[in-house]
Amino acid sequence: MDSNYELIIGLEVHVQSKTKSKMFCSCDANYFNAAPNSHVCPVCFGLPGALPVPNKRAIELCIKTALALNCKINQNTKFDRKNYFYPDLPKGFQISQYDQPIGYEGYIDIETKEGKKRIGITRIHQEEDTGKSIHSNGETLLDYNKSGVPLIEIVSEPDFRTKEEVTAYCKRLRQIVRYLSVSTADMEKGEMRFELNMSLRKRGESTLPKYKVEVKNIASISVLEKVIDYEFKRQSEILDNGELPQQETRGLVDMSGQTVSQRTKENEADYRYFPEPDIPLIEISQDMIEQIRAEMVELPQAKKDRYVKEYNIDADTAEAIITDSATYVTFENMIAGLSPNYIVEIAKWYTGDYFSLVNNKERHSGFLDSMLVDIVKMVVDKKITRANAKEVLEISYTQGSKPEEVVEQKGFEIVSDTGAIAEIVEKVIANNPKAVEDAQKNPNAAMFLVGQAMRELKGQADAQTVKDMVLEKISK
């Protein structure tokens, strides 16, 4: 976006927690594909007299997320009523958190082309989801299966200046909640949703703009990117005309990213927040915090930094390995107990040839990840060439054969007998006097002799050893 304007973006991300039951009742929280209104009770419907009982597991998951995002924890926390009227909200209010959110003042470090950047987290709080309105044939149908499902809301500071930063943040955040088993964050199922707060200012200005446009209910990162593009263009045009875009909430027209005005933005007073009288105050003990902290796995960025530092793996390869838990667990199992020279090669083979096989070929049930380790060891130990190792890997992967057996059948074992190599090198030198003469003038020309010798050796020798030997013999 080459322009006179700079983006100012803040995000609110909703993540559906992975709990068995809903936030304030015992209804099954896994409502995906269930018949409408089959996961409901008087609490979900907000019937008079129904009392909410907070889900302890959900609160633990919210604390875990807050800790992972470097937040401070409000050890005295409470729930509040956020009042608004909407058909999918039968109580007339949503139980959320107002002035004592579970977590506050945290941050996430993201990586951009310009390096690492810290995005501030204003707050993390626990709330409940609403029901769902389905509009069809001029009618509105209501499904309350989603009503009361636990949601964690993560509110960022307006720290984003480019679309790339927003994307990097959303992906890292999704990775973090998945690593922690807080949420499956499956956007197709609506388990992770975004609200965008966006405005523009002239480049070089340092104060925040006097307006903010909010776009709600964005269901995927790709749509979020399109909305940013759309709004950038729309707001730039208004500013170019010397006007100020209206402070408002806009809705999505479709998945193209186009937005339309919905209403001028409510302010907090419109929600008439007040403490939820049916739920006692909640105390989060230091013991509870420490116990949750102790259960946490190493987070993606820390893991990536450690791979780069400890194993000398390049950043892109490390990023590919930390993609998800299954990918890094497989890697960590493979490298357990190995020395660093093997680990860095395994990382390359794993994310290169192995990933490509996973994507393109059927895996034989007899293939074990330890076979990849065996193959890479043979390469590092100069027992087989890289080119042959690729073939061995493919055969093992698709046929389940043991790498050592494939190497033996194919005659891939490198000739390590230097006497045998020397014999062939001498023969090649004797047969190519013209090439020897050229190579003595220009060492680059020696590659022809190396090639001839490698052909005689049927490729089963270490090319560097052969090259060294050729250079040594013609220099005499």
* Residues binding Zn ion (CB under 5 A): 25, 27, 41, 43-44
Nearer to Zn ion, 18 or 123 (CB): 18
d(CA 395, CA 333): 22
Closest among 11, 15, 13, 12 to 185, alpha carbons compared: 15
Closest distance to Zn ion from the beta carbon of 34 (Å): 13
Classify the C-alpha dihedral 33-39-43-46 as positive or negative.
Answer: positive
Residue in the structure block whose two tokens are 């949750």: 292
* H-run or E-run covering 305: helix 300-311
d(CA 167, CA 225): 7
Nearer to Zn ion, 27 or 228 (CB): 27
Closest distance to Zn ion from the beta carbon of 185 (Å): 23
How many CB atoms are closer than 10 A to CB 133? Answer: 12
Closest distance to Zn ion from the beta carbon of 363 (Å): 43
**Torsions phi, psi for 128 (to 5 deg):** -115, 150
Nearer to Zn ion, 38 or 356 (CB): 38
Distance from chain centroid for Cα 25: 32
β-strands 139-143, 150-156: how paired?
unpaired
Closest distance to Zn ion from the beta carbon of 147 (Å): 8
Closest distance to Zn ion from the beta carbon of 140 (Å): 22
Closest distance to Zn ion from the beta carbon of 141 (Å): 19
Nearer to Zn ion, 41 or 471 (CB): 41
Closest distance to Zn ion from the beta carbon of 138 (Å): 30
| 200 three-state secondary structure | strand
Q: How far apart are the first and last CA of the chain?
A: 62
d(CA 173, CA 167): 10
Nearer to Zn ion, 88 or 438 (CB): 88
Contact between 455 and 432 under an 8 Å Cβ cutoff? The reply is no
Residue in the structure block whose two tokens are 């013999």: 473
What Cα–Cα distance (Å) separates residue 19 from each residue in 56, 60, 151, 215, 432?
10, 10, 10, 28, 75
- DSSP secondary structure of 47-91: -TT------HHHHHHHHHHHHHTT-EE-SEE--EEEE---TT-TT
Nearer to Zn ion, 41 or 447 (CB): 41
Closest distance to Zn ion from the beta carbon of 44 (Å): 4
- DSSP secondary structure of 155-195: EE-S-B-SHHHHHHHHHHHHHHHHHTTS----GGGTSEEEE
Nearer to Zn ion, 27 or 119 (CB): 27
Nearer to Zn ion, 27 or 421 (CB): 27
Nearer to Zn ion, 127 or 353 (CB): 127
Closest distance to Zn ion from the beta carbon of 37 (Å): 11
Closest distance to Zn ion from the beta carbon of 28 (Å): 9
d(CA 372, CA 349): 8
Region of residue 179 (phi > 0: left; psi between -120 and 50: alpha; otherwise: beta): alpha
d(CA 384, CA 377): 9
Closest distance to Zn ion from the beta carbon of 51 (Å): 11
What Cα–Cα distance (Å) separates residue 71 from each residue in 11, 59, 101, 160?
16, 15, 11, 19
Nearer to Zn ion, 25 or 177 (CB): 25
Residue in the structure block whose two tokens are 């796995």: 297
Nearer to Zn ion, 38 or 399 (CB): 38
Closest distance to Zn ion from the beta carbon of 130 (Å): 13
Nearer to Zn ion, 47 or 208 (CB): 47
- DSSP secondary structure of 378-444: HHHTTSS-HHHHHHHHHHHHHH---HHHHHHHHT------HHHHHHHHHHHHHH-HHHHHHHHH-GG
